[in-house]
Amino acid sequence: MEFTPTRAAGLAALDSFLPRAGKRYASTRNHDLGTGRDNVSQQSPWLHAGLLSESEVLETVLGQHSASAAEKFVSEVFWRIYFKGYLEQRPSVWRSYCDGRDAALAALDANAGLRKAHDEATGGRTGIEAFDHWARELVETGYLHNHARMWFASIWMHTLQLDWHLGADFFLRHLRDGDAASNTLSWRWVAGLHTKGKHYMARKGNIARYTADHPAGPLAAEGLASDAEPLTEAEDHQRNPLDLPAAQPDFDTGEPFALLLHDEAASHAVLDLPRPPALVIGAARPEARSPLEVGDAARSFAQEAVHGGVQEAAAQFGCAQAEWRAQDRLAALMEEAGAKRLVMPYLPIGWTRDALWPELEPLASDGRLTTLLPELDRATWPHAKAGFFGVKKVMHSAMREAGIAGA
């Protein structure tokens, strides 16, 4: 798969996967077929970057397949929406991940044995063939199949006994689709922290079965732990009430505004702007994913997605454009273009928000920040309070509420 960070490339990839999004996806999706795979959509980098929206992917698939044939694919897309909604309501999960990661990195600095084990795992030199294969695939391609992510995370923490925060950090540094919600909560799920006491154990027979058709398969996984305990934590992550932006933001004042595109919302095309902005600003912050160096695949995908998205929006609206780099002041960029208000797609909990919020906060306090939230998130997030089942129950009504044809 060529992961070109443009909306056009995402739409073309969706179009070519479309015939396989129904029953074939449901029956083959668990197989890791290697980098030539066509049994899963590989849409996640474009979805994460906001080059495509969940709504349009769902509507396209439901335009081609019946709701029952597409049920599995639809529910996987809802896992993404569920995780985002869950993290919005439990921001302490993200804070505690960042703190745990920083503590684990400090422990690596202080302990040569740990550092060696970490280097072997991230360098694909543990001697566990399957794990080493995925470590290299991740770094080289910026993508891993879902089942490989589950096996990898399980072996990382339950067999190699490495700190899970460091594994989640390794993923975020290299995945093009690296996502604060899906990644953190999936690692916690494998650990037994998301569904408390229920962890995921990788088994060599399962790995051999689902990599049987991999060009290097079946992949061997000798010596895996069979009896690890689920991880536990002292902190109890309380749920905060959702504080969602207005459904119909007020643009009627006619004041000039700037549109902000960022790592998780790099295209204007999925937004429904009632009038053109005076300025389009791009802010890509992939380096904020981790204190360690972020890999080329993840970094360049985010940077090019935002850069290209800004150019497309400026051409479409015939307006000025600006890059907001970490050392620039947002207020100065807006002032130069005479923009009084900033409009931005919802900035979810995660590193992009952490990096940008200090300069957005004054605008929010002044009432000069307008946030746009996709209708599908608005309809779904209130149900992402605990387990996925709460969301699964309302998938179809949420899609109808969001106006998705075919739902």
Ligand X SMILES: Cc1cc2nc3c(=O)[nH]c(=O)nc-3n(C[C@H](O)[C@H](O)[C@H](O)COP(=O)(O)OP(=O)(O)OC[C@H]3O[C@@H](n4cnc5c(N)ncnc54)[C@H](O)[C@@H]3O)c2cc1C
Q: Does 346 bind ligand X (CB under 6 A)?
A: no
**Binding residues for ligand X restricted to 115-174, rule: CB under 6 A:** 146, 149-150, 153, 171
Task: In angstroms, give the least distance from the CB of 179 to ligand X.
Answer: 4
Q: Does 69 bind ligand X (CB under 6 A)?
A: no
Options 40, 104, 259, 330; binder of ligand X; rule CB under 6 A = 40
Q: Does 80 bind ligand X (CB under 6 A)?
A: yes
**Which is nearer to ligand X, 290 or 321 (by Cβ)?**
290
Q: Does 388 bind ligand X (CB under 6 A)?
A: no
Helices (H), 290-350: 296-317, 330-336
Q: Does 44 bind ligand X (CB under 6 A)?
A: yes
Task: In angstroms, give the least distance from the CB of 25 to ligand X.
Answer: 7
Task: In angstroms, give the least distance from the CB of 366 to ligand X.
Answer: 34
Asked if 353 and 344 count as a contact pair (C-beta separation under 8 A), the reply is no
Residue type, 206: N
Task: In angstroms, give the least distance from the CB of 362 to ligand X.
Answer: 31
Cα separation values, 301 from 140, 142, 178, 196, 263, Å: 13, 9, 11, 34, 9
CA–CA dist 135, 123 (Å, integer)? 7
Contact letters for ligand X, residues 287-306 (x by CB under 6 A): --------------------
Task: In angstroms, give the least distance from the CB of 306 to ligand X.
Answer: 17
Q: Which stretch binds ligand X (CB under 6 A): 184-192, 223-231, 277-285, 326-334?
A: 184-192
Number of residues engaging ligand X in binding (CB under 6 A):
27
CA 179: distance to chain centroid?
Answer: 3
**Which structure tokens are listed for 59?**
């509507």
Task: In angstroms, give the least distance from the CB of 368 to ligand X.
Answer: 32
CA–CA dist 38, 400 (Å, integer)? 29
**Which is nearer to ligand X, 277 or 295 (by Cβ)?**
295
CA–CA dist 169, 179 (Å, integer)? 11
Task: In angstroms, give the least distance from the CB of 22 to ligand X.
Answer: 12
User: Which is it for strands 341-345 and 320-323: parallel, antiparallel or unpaired?
Assistant: unpaired
CA–CA dist 14, 60 (Å, integer)? 9
Q: Does 77 bind ligand X (CB under 6 A)?
A: yes
Q: Which stretch binds ligand X (CB under 6 A): 4-12, 35-43, 338-346, 358-366?
A: 35-43
Task: In angstroms, give the least distance from the CB of 167 to ligand X.
Answer: 8
Instruction: For the chain, report the end-to-end CA distance as a whole number of angstroms.
Output: 29
Options 183, 211, 352, 370; binder of ligand X; rule CB under 6 A = 183
Least Cα distance to 255 among 360, 370, 374, 371 occurs for 370
Query: Cis peptide leading into 218, omega within 30 of 0?
Result: yes
Q: Does 79 bind ligand X (CB under 6 A)?
A: yes
Asked if 177 and 48 count as a contact pair (C-beta separation under 8 A), the reply is yes
From edge to edge, which strands make up the β-sheet containing 279-283?
320-323, 279-283, 257-262, 341-345, 369-372
> Which positions touch ligand X (CB under 6 A)?
29, 40-44, 47-48, 76-77, 79-80, 83, 146, 149-150, 153, 171, 175, 177-179, 182-183, 186-187, 190
